Structure 1
Amino acid sequence: MTILIVGATGTLGRQVARHAIDEGYKVRCLVRNSKKAAFLKEWGAELVWGDLCRKETLPFALEGVTAVVDSSTARPTDSLSVKQVDWEGKVALINAAKAAHVDHFIFLSILNADKYPEVPLMEIKHCTELFLAESSLNYTILRLAGFMQGLISQYGIPILEEQPVWVTGESSPIAYMNTQDIAKLVIRALSVEETKNKIFPIVGTYAWSAEEIIGVCKKLSGKEVKITRMPIGLLRAVRNSLRFFQWSWNVADRLAFAEVIANGKPLDASMEDVYKVFGLDAKETTTLEGYLQDYFNRIMKKLKELDYNKAKTGIRKPKKSPFKNVNN
């Protein structure tokens, strides 16, 4: 079976590619920059140049492909808008997959996307779900809540560097999940017939508020935490001001999404049926405490090594942060 992975250089996409290769699948990755994707080739994936927003590049990438895993999304710094990438690009991909007679299309969406029509990214994700479901392709839609990996830059690194941690509005509890666990579920869906033409929530073991996560980081790091709160009204004012400039529309759309995680409503769902259908053990899912403990243990070990080398050689402490390259 040949799998085409779209978004394979991203935080989740690379884990999907790694797990698929480890499971023996033939993996092809749609990439725009072969240099940035070189690590995928080293793992054993085939790289094919293409761009969602250049639909003429998609048919070649889909030749001989059995299944598509779409984990791509527009980045805040992209020159293209969320609409161009996450809607027009996805429509082109789904149509191309249909023309190529792809057997299975797995789309990674966002939990509760149908409940926020006023948020551009959420509305587009929901519309893409509907378009895929009506395409006649066999599909599996996995609705995600949040990645544990993102918590390192959001909380871990600022706390270790004794910088303020920003909290916006009323913190929404989020059931974060390790991308490695998500990747396992994604690849499992390829071999379980019961996952076809269905939608599943994919979330972690517990929905954590920002304050709870900060408390865990404080305990594990042994450092005091400076919390800076941004009122939700100020966030809206910034978002509205950015809408005046075309070059910042993508950032404004992302700020609109920030309101989803700052309104106090939890992003969580039951995974009981998911584990039954996928045939996986819930006890094997990474807990947030375990993930953060592993990160801080590795950081503290690295800091001790740096202090030892400094004392031994008399070399000054490096200016670059030692915290940024210790994450999975």
Structure 2
Amino acid sequence: MNLLIVGATGTLGRQIARRALDEGHQVRCLVRSYKKAAFLREWGAELVGGNICRPETLPGALEGIDVVIDAATARATDSFSIKQIDWDGKVALIQAAVAAKVNRYIFFSILDAEKYPQVPLMEIKRCTELFLKESGLNYTILRPCGFMQNLIGDFAIPVLEGQPVWVTGAASPIAYMDTQDIAKFAIRALSVPETENQTFPIVGSKAWSADEIVKLCERLSGKDAKVTRVSWVILRAARNFARFFEWTWNIADRMDFAEVIATGKPLNASMTEVYQTFGIAPEETTTLETYLQDYFGRILKKLKELDYEKAKTQSKKISPKKLTF
């Protein structure tokens, strides 16, 4: 199939592109920067310049496309706001896909989006789901709730480097999933008719609390974590302060997501029927223990190699053969 992947340079989008190429699909990626997307071309993808916030760039990108896989979302540092990207941009992309007579549209939303109308990103995702369903496109909506990859910067690296691990009190456990596995579901949907015009949760096998993740990192790294706990009062104050400045609105909107986690309710869902529908075995997906074990194993091995090389270099410097008296 001819696929257009939007958001292909992101944490999830790049895994979708890699998976699609590995399975023999023709992949085109809509990119804002050819330089940042150079690795996608090296993998074998076609790059086309464009931006969902500039609708005039979309028709050309959609020529000859069978399926749109939409993994784009606003980043905290984007010059465009969450509303501009995740609502205005998505509306423009869906409308352009309709005009181009695209056969399929796969959209990534967020688990339980309909339960939090007070959280901007969640409400925008819910409205986008409705707009897509009413567009007439043949759609599949996938709803993850957290990526394992994000835990490396939040937990693993701080533990290894002896830096503070920031934890909020009574945070909701989250069923994180490896983005490679999420990509597997997205590409599998293309060949499973039962996934058409349906919405599915795509989550990990267990919801993990922040404290559980810290303990797991400590066990796998052999180091004690320096945990710094932050109250929701401080987070709310920081969010309100960020709203004073236009260039920090995205940060404030992202911080609103803390309201979801503050409920203490697990972000999780049953995957039994999802696995059956997609024809994927649960044991094929990566658990958080396995993911972090692999990460720490590779990092600790590398650190030992570096220590060995350093020791060997120092040993040469003080070799008795080079000493004179």
Q: TM-score range by the shorter chain?
A: over 0.9
Runs of 4+ with deviation above 2 angstroms: none
Other-structure match for 1:130: 130
Letter in 2 for 1:57: T
Letter in 2 for 1:303: L
Letter in 2 for 1:62: L
Q: Distance in 2 between matches of 1:50 and 1:56?
A: 9
Other-structure match for 2:262: 262
Q: Distance in 1 between matches of 2:241 and 2:119?
A: 16
Give the TM-score, by structure 1 length. Answer: 0.95
Q: Which runs of 5+ in 2 are unaligned?
A: 316-325
Q: Distance in 2 between matches of 1:64 and 1:16?
A: 19
Other-structure match for 1:93: 93
Q: CA RMSD in A?
A: 0.9
1:79 is displaced (CA, Å) by 1.3
Other-structure match for 2:224: 224
1:263 is displaced (CA, Å) by 2.6
Other-structure match for 2:293: 293
Does the residue aligned with 1:190 lie in a helix, a strand or coil? helix
Residues 68-107 of structure 1 mapped to structure 2, 5 A cutoff? 68-107=68-107
What does the per-residue CA deviation read over 1:192-217, in whole Å, with 9 as the maximum and x for residues that have no partner?
Answer: 11101000000001000000011100
1:182 is displaced (CA, Å) by 0.5
State the identity %: 69
Contact 1:174 1:208 in 2 (8 A): yes
What does the per-residue CA deviation read over 1:179-236, in whole Å, with 9 as the maximum and x for residues that have no partner?
Answer: 1100000000011111010000000010000000111000011111111111011111
Other-structure match for 1:303: 303
Other-structure match for 1:47: 47
Does the residue aligned with 1:228 lie in a helix, a strand or coil? strand
Q: Distance in 2 between matches of 1:44 and 1:262?
A: 43
Letter in 2 for 1:170: A
Aligned length, in residue pairs: 315
Contact 1:169 1:263 in 2 (8 A): no
Does the residue aligned with 2:162 lie in a helix, a strand or coil? coil
Contact 1:30 1:49 in 2 (8 A): yes
Does the residue aligned with 1:263 lie in a helix, a strand or coil? coil
Letter in 1 for 2:185: L
Other-structure match for 2:322: none
Other-structure match for 1:253: 253
Contact 1:178 1:286 in 2 (8 A): yes
What does the per-residue CA deviation read over 1:255-284, in whole Å, with 9 as the maximum and x for residues that have no partner?
Answer: 101232233111000000101110111111
Q: Distance in 2 between matches of 1:72 and 1:217?
A: 30
Other-structure match for 1:180: 180
What does the per-residue CA deviation read over 1:141-175, in whole Å, with 9 as the maximum and x for residues that have no partner?
Answer: 00011000110000000000001100123121100
1:314 is displaced (CA, Å) by 3.0
Q: Which runs of 5+ in 1 are unaligned?
A: 316-328
Q: Distance in 2 between matches of 1:181 and 1:277?
A: 15
Other-structure match for 1:234: 234
Contact 1:6 1:30 in 2 (8 A): yes
Q: Distance in 2 between matches of 1:132 and 1:213?
A: 36
Other-structure match for 1:7: 7
1:113 is displaced (CA, Å) by 0.7
Matched, 1:167 2:167: yes
Letter in 2 for 1:203: V
Letter in 1 for 2:12: L
